[in-house]
Structure 1
């Protein structure tokens, strides 16, 4: 079962006192990821099959979150993360690749106490499972025949409409001449 959690970064000390109005919790996230690190070769193999995979597993990396003091003192920066587990089973080697992707939303909020930086984690109960299912050559041939048959059918309908329209116009012209 997935359990939500929080990571709170703040300045606290029994030996020091802090002036909350002088604290700025601006930060840059260098790297934020979940789960095991996937080898670059394995990731390139998986991305060849599923190009969008990995696009949201490092959304916050390298992003600065800066309080320019526009909001005044005691500003807390909060990050809300929804984490989804994605599993990919490749056809050739039957490898299982596990990746945790996340969506992120960040906000600034006034605080009554010492400002902090908060990360709210929520693990999704849903999981994405991607498998490769090979199709047979006969399936390919059947699809090609269906496409060709559909093109001929539409062409036949258009030809019939055009032919009947021209024939009707000729009858109208002949009817006017008499």
Structure 2
């Protein structure tokens, strides 16, 4: 009685088994069934690995809000080389409020060479290749996380037998967070009540040459590995009186991943250039002008991870779904094959059927 009482819970659990077991004597193995099983297991393994790989990769979620931070300053990072002597040019910022911002020591003017060295040509080619890839597929997450090194232009060594023929304008400075104009033109600037004026009366127009290259131009804190639209830009002209205008639209961007969080700015630009000739009506001031404006909308980019519960649900769905589907297909194929086999047997003569039946009985007797 005690033994039966002890076995009762096991019997109850056994009766509650929702997956009844088929006796092995009822199961008939075949080569086709084994091949189908191998194919099913291969499909399950491939789909499971693909699902785990997708789970490990994260996705970016974009949100938008009004940029209410108007009291902070906008950082501009520039590295521009102009094909003129440093004594002949000046660089300044004038914003929409009429404020002239002296750059002082934040922006350096260093004598340099306009022609690129071999290392610099290699660097420029590499940047242009990356920009070509970026035009096809832009992934800020990939650029930030997979490019730990800042892609700086190699230094151009000073040559003793040749005088510098260009001026490198480089540095980082802060301006008001409003629409403005960062420009490089002839003459040093002289501040006055309404802004500033560039003194160019004592510079010969034959020395004007605003051929330039933009090695780097970005807005906001520098992001290692991030390639901006104007990086490696190269423009040349044979005319002395020439104007280059870049119209830049800046979009504040907040980027957050599992590794880091940063506030920066993305931008797009359009440009135009023309030769100045007062006789033909093409008026203006020769130089290079970067007219920038800030978008009132701020972009928030968040890296979103996939929940592990969703992974388990998908894996269960993959395994159970393949088993169920394969069982249905295998049963359907077996049914069609049996139907075809029965039709082929019915088409045989009675004598052939009796002979085939006798052969089957003989084979079963030999087996026993």
Relative to structure 1, the CA distance from residue 100 to residue 157 in structure 2 (aligned partners, 3 Å threshold; closer, same or farther) is farther
Contact 1:5–1:122 at 8 Å: present in 2 too?
A: yes
1:31-42 equivalences under 5 Å are 31-38=216-223
Aligned-residue offset at 1:161: 8.9
C-alpha distance in structure 1 between counterparts of 2:256 and 2:313, whole Å: 27
C-alpha distance in structure 2 between counterparts of 1:31 and 1:162, whole Å: 66
C-alpha distance in structure 2 between counterparts of 1:127 and 1:165, whole Å: 63
- Output one character per residue of 1:93-128: Cα deviation in whole Å (capped at 9) or x when no partner: xx5311222233433223334422111212223333
Contact 1:90–1:96 at 8 Å: present in 2 too?
A: yes
1:112-151 equivalences under 5 Å are 112-113=282-283, 114-148=285-319, 151=322
C-alpha distance in structure 1 between counterparts of 2:291 and 2:222, whole Å: 22
Tell me the residue number matched to 2:272.
Answer: 107
Tell me the residue number matched to 1:51.
Answer: none
Calculate the aligned-residue CA RMSD, in Å. Answer: 4.1
C-alpha distance in structure 1 between counterparts of 2:207 and 2:332, whole Å: 79
Aligned-residue offset at 1:77: 1.4
Question: Please, what TM-score do these two structures have when normalized by structure 2?
Answer: 0.33
Aligned-residue offset at 1:165: 9.0
Relative to structure 1, the CA distance from residue 60 to residue 138 in structure 2 (aligned partners, 3 Å threshold; closer, same or farther) is same
Count how many residue pairs are aligned between Structure 1 and Structure 2: 156
Q: Which sections of structure 2, spanning at least 5 residues, go unmatched?
A: 1-66, 68-176, 187-197, 277-281, 348-368
Larger relative contact order (CA 8 Å, sep ≥ 6)? 1
Relative to structure 1, the CA distance from residue 74 to residue 88 in structure 2 (aligned partners, 3 Å threshold; closer, same or farther) is same
Relative to structure 1, the CA distance from residue 30 to residue 154 in structure 2 (aligned partners, 3 Å threshold; closer, same or farther) is same
Structure of higher CA gyration radius:
2
C-alpha distance in structure 2 between counterparts of 1:35 and 1:146, whole Å: 47
C-alpha distance in structure 1 between counterparts of 2:268 and 2:180, whole Å: 15
C-alpha distance in structure 2 between counterparts of 1:80 and 1:157, whole Å: 64
C-alpha distance in structure 1 between counterparts of 2:335 and 2:291, whole Å: 68
Question: Please, what TM-score do these two structures have when normalized by structure 1?
Answer: 0.59
Q: Which sections of structure 1, spanning at least 5 residues, go unmatched?
A: 44-53
1:22-61 equivalences under 5 Å are 23-38=208-223, 55-56=226-227, 58-61=228-231
Relative to structure 1, the CA distance from residue 159 to residue 36 in structure 2 (aligned partners, 3 Å threshold; closer, same or farther) is same
C-alpha distance in structure 1 between counterparts of 2:219 and 2:328, whole Å: 57
Which has a greater percent of helix?
2
Out of 226, 232, 251, the position equivalent to 1:84 is 251
Tell me the residue number matched to 2:181.
Answer: 6
